[in-house]
Structure formats: structure tokens, C-alpha cells
Amino acid sequence: MTSSIVKRVVICGGGTSGHVLPAVAIAEMLEDEGLNPRDIHFIGTQRGIDENILSQTLYPFTLLNVIGAKHQLTPRAVLHNVRMLLLMRQATRDACNVMRDFAPHVVVSVGGYGSLAPMQAAQKMGIPTVVVSYDSQPGLATKRQARNANVVTKSHPHSPLSNAVLVGAPIRRHLRLAGKNEMNSSVKDAARVALGIPLNKFVVVVMGGSLGSALLNDVTAQLQVSEQLKSVFWYHIAGNRYLENEMQPKMPNCIQVGYETRIQEVYQAADLVVSRAGASTIGEISTLGVASILVPWAGAADNHQEQNARLLSEVGAAVLITEEGFTAQKAEEVIFELVQRPEKLAELRKNAYLAGELNRRAELGSLIATVARASE
């Protein structure tokens, strides 16, 4: 644990759980370094999932009225971007006011459009900055901010950010601690009891990110009636918008939820996870050592989800299936093989766990604390 000299940190970014949850993980690392939760201030967005997540923590937060840019040249997109710039100017002024009142030693960005105004404010006011990149391909905001940041970190050795320090992904404390403990049958059984899952089944967890995935939902609905996979029990995190639209029928061999906060129990209960390949998911399944089939979202910027997935698939830590190839027939074939070959499933788990070693060390918190101490 570092000295209590480090007093105040702002963490900015947001809009999706893929930004907010890593931000919360960083805050927990800073707590482990000796910071008081009240001395960690979040600046996020009014339009995302930020408030839902942050209101369940002890951290103070400010939500800015910002929107992301559209990258088309249509009249509607041009008007949207003009509005975006006007909102950004006001948001930067609002962020400056937060910085003056809070007086942080360092501002940490987790990327996304929600980080732009606070980082501009920090640079105007001469406050040291740290940019945290946890995708294999950093987004536009991260690339831009990395040019002038005091410190840049990356989660993957193949990141194109040449000035970045390799420290692993920001993973929430309870998942890091769970990853350090042995995953045995009693842990798995306890997780299944907590989630209402039968103890004696092969459990496949399907999750399509915080918003859900129509493709994963449609394929899962077909797999649930597969005769070949009748021994499988499905825990399906479908996304609230799909449950509300009643797109997915209820099946006796499946528990279906819109959104799940008990993610540690979900991973511990699973024999296999079928998921998109966002950076947070990649970091979590490797930290805990979970066998997975990864279906990268083809619409991700710079195809970064496929590159995320390849980080695991190329070391035998996951099975990668592209969107184009992810049919019910292909998924049935791969899942059935893993049900029938427990040794292959065990190999995926072992390799995933090895890939998550850097995440479990949680070196990011001490690095941010070092930057903050140097600013005094």
C-alpha cells in the first residue's frame, strides 16, 4: 500500500458498462492503495448506464450532458455533430468547475466520448493525466488523449500505443480475488445455488454485453431445443430490451434474465460461456479462467472485438467464431464437442487462467498513485 499522500483522483469516461465497470475497478485498486472512496470522483455521461452503476457505490460522481459524434456526412449527422460540439464546450466548462472544487492530483481516462471534456479540462488546468487502454485496438478518444498524457497504460502487449506501459486490464476487486482462489466443485455448486441453476447439469452461460445481442439470442433459442444438447442447462443474459419485447420464449432448460449484476457467480457457475468479445469480458474470463466461445461484434470500431478475441484464441484459451460463421449448426457442433471432451474444456480453462495473470496482479492502481504523488 502506498502513502496517504495521494488524496484525490478523478476518473472519467462512460456511456456503457464497458467503460464504467473498468472505471469502478480502477477506483477499487486506488482504495487498495489507501485512498478514501470519497476522494475518488467520477465524471461520466447523463445518457449512459453510468448513474445506474455509480449510484450503487460510495464514490461521488458528476454526469455531463454530452453525446458521441456521428461519422457520416448526411445532413442529419452534420447537425448532430454541431450539437455535439456545442454540448462539449459547455461540458468542458462544467468539468473545469468540478476540477476547481475537487482539486485532483491526477485525472484518469478510461476512454469513450464521456472522457473528452474532463480530459480537455485537465489539460487546460495543468493537472497530470493517465490514459488507460484496455482494448487490443484503442478507440479514437484514447488515441487522441494518449499523445499528451503523462502516463499511458495498456492491457495487451500488441497494443499499437507505443508509449504505453503494460499493466493488465482493470478488473473489479471481487473478480480478482475470486480468480486468485481455487475454482473447485464447492465454489461452483454455491454459485449455482445462488443463481437457481441445477447442480448436475452442463451449464452454458450466454451473454451479449450490457445491451444484449440479437444474434446470440436467436441462436440460443434454436440451441435450447436441440436434441443433441438436451443435457445442457442455459443461463441466458439476453438484454433488457429483448426481454421487454418478448423476443425470447421461456424454456424449462433455461433461466433467462435481462441484465445480471451477480457476474462473479455467473462465471463460477458456468462450464462454458458464449459471449461477445468486449475488453471487459475478455479481461474477466481470463482473470477467472473460464472456458469460452467468443463471437466478436462485427460492428465494433476497427474490428477491435475480433482482435480482443484472438488474444485468447491464439493461445488456446477460447474458441473464436465470427458473426458470419455463428450459426445454430456451428454453435451446436462446438458446444457438443466440449460437452463430450472434458479434457479440451479443461485446457481452455487452464490457458484462459494463464492469460489472466497480469490482470490478477492489479498493478495499475500503484502506477496511478505514483503519478499523483509526483504532481505534489
Mean pLDDT of 252-281: 94
Higher pLDDT, 300 or 334: 334
pLDDT band at residue 250 using 50, 70 and 90 as cut-offs: low
Question: Which pLDDT belongs to residue 254?
Answer: 92
Which parts of the chain are beta strand (E)? 9-12, 40-45, 61-64, 106-109, 129-133, 151-154, 164-166, 202-207, 232-237, 254-257, 272-275, 292-294, 319-320
Q: Is the model's pLDDT at 8 over the cut of 50? A: yes
Rounded CA-CA distance 273/234 in Å is: 10
pLDDT in tens, 45-81: 998 789 999 999 999 999 999 998 888 889 999 999 9
DSSP-based three-state secondary structure for 175 = helix
The stretch 123-151 carries a mean pLDDT of 93
CA distances (Å), 363 to each of 17, 168, 220, 224, 301, in order? Answer: 22, 8, 38, 42, 28
Lowest mean pLDDT among 108-122, 136-150, 190-204, 324-338: 136-150
Q: Which architecture characterizes domain 184-288+290-355 according to CATH? A: 3-Layer(aba) Sandwich (3.40)
Distance of CA 27 to the CA centre of its chain: 14
C-alpha dist (Å) from residue 106 to 59, 62, 155, 375: 16, 16, 20, 8
Which three cell numbers mark 213? Answer: 445481442
> Other CB atoms closer than 10 Å to residue 222's CB: what's the count?
13
3-state SS assignment for residue 231: coil
pTM of the model: 0.89
Domain spans, the chain: 9-170+360-374, 184-288+290-355
Backbone angles phi, psi at 228, to 5 degrees: -70, -30
- The pLDDT assigned to 38 comes to 95
Topology of the domain comprising 9-170+360-374: Rossmann fold (3.40.50)
Question: Is pLDDT above 60 for 178?
Answer: yes
Distances (CA, A) of 193 to 177, 189, 200, 276, 277: 20, 6, 11, 26, 27
The answer to whether the beta carbons of residues 66 and 116 sit under 8 Å apart is: yes
